[in-house]
Amino acid sequence: MDLKEIANATCKIAKKAGAFIRKEKQGFSLANVELKGFNDLVSYVDKEAEKIIVSELSTLLPQAGFITEEGTESDPNQEYTWIVDPLDGTTNFVHGIPIFAVSIALAKGEKIVAGVVYEVNLDECFYAYEGGGAFCNNDPIQVSFVRNISESLIAHGFPYDDGGKMGEYLQFLQHLLKNSHGLRRLGSAAVDLCYVACGRAEGYFEYNLQSYDVAAGALIVKEAGGKVSDFSGGDDFIFGGQILSTNGSIHEELRASLNHYFTL
């Protein structure tokens, strides 16, 4: 399998879905929104974008299964599996906030071997494949060289359906606000990860996530020279519901600080 060709073809598919999303955001109404769970939104745009992606990916790699957010297909028991979020940042989308993306990853077993994140509004296609480096619109990208948290910009997300640990979480955020260049909550895990990969932020962390939120972005960070782990420093960040991603240089400092203030 030529992973470079797979990644390039996947970029085209992500852009096709992105074009549909861009078109539908004109005049989109909150009346079209459904509630899957507390603060967990979905619309016909998510569902139709997923249909586009699944149809195209099924042609590209017929033998692969799928893990998708909206459940269009769900046969992950194959050697290769596509992990798809057709619209990461749905809440931003439905409120007209221009930060949302298409996220597509290809896994071999539990190992991610290709990943694409297409940020629709800026027309930025981030992608990577195993051993091939990371790119944005065909230009190579890499993480920043900042070496400490005090000079870092840190992205994060709030858990949308679990407030039980919010007190501890806010204490950690308060610590970072006092000891970094600042915090950013963009509303799309896929975009957060890509911004670490291209050096716009030095770190990103979040919990209560799904595999389709982070699979593509995690590989892009790694191939851009960064580091990705779960909160304990282990490798259970795709399916484990928690992720810590950095430029590598601040990883242990950020992880130690995170674990000091916040435990799951």
Give which of 223, 241, 232, 255 is closest to 132, Cα–Cα. Answer: 223
- Supply the mean pLDDT for the chain: 92
Token pair for 66: 């799928």
Domains and CATH numbers, the chain: 3-140 (3.30.540.10), 149-261 (3.40.190.80)
**178-230 tens-digit pLDDT:** 999 999 999 999 999 999 999 999 999 999 999 999 999 999 999 999 999 99
**122-175 tens-digit pLDDT:** 999 999 999 999 999 999 999 999 999 999 999 999 876 666 778 889 999 999
Is residue 254 very low, low, confident or very high in pLDDT (cuts 50, 70, 90)? very high
Could you tell me if residue 233 is left (phi over 0), alpha (psi between -120 and 50 degrees) or otherwise beta?
A: left
pLDDT at 27: 80
Question: What's the pTM?
Answer: 0.94
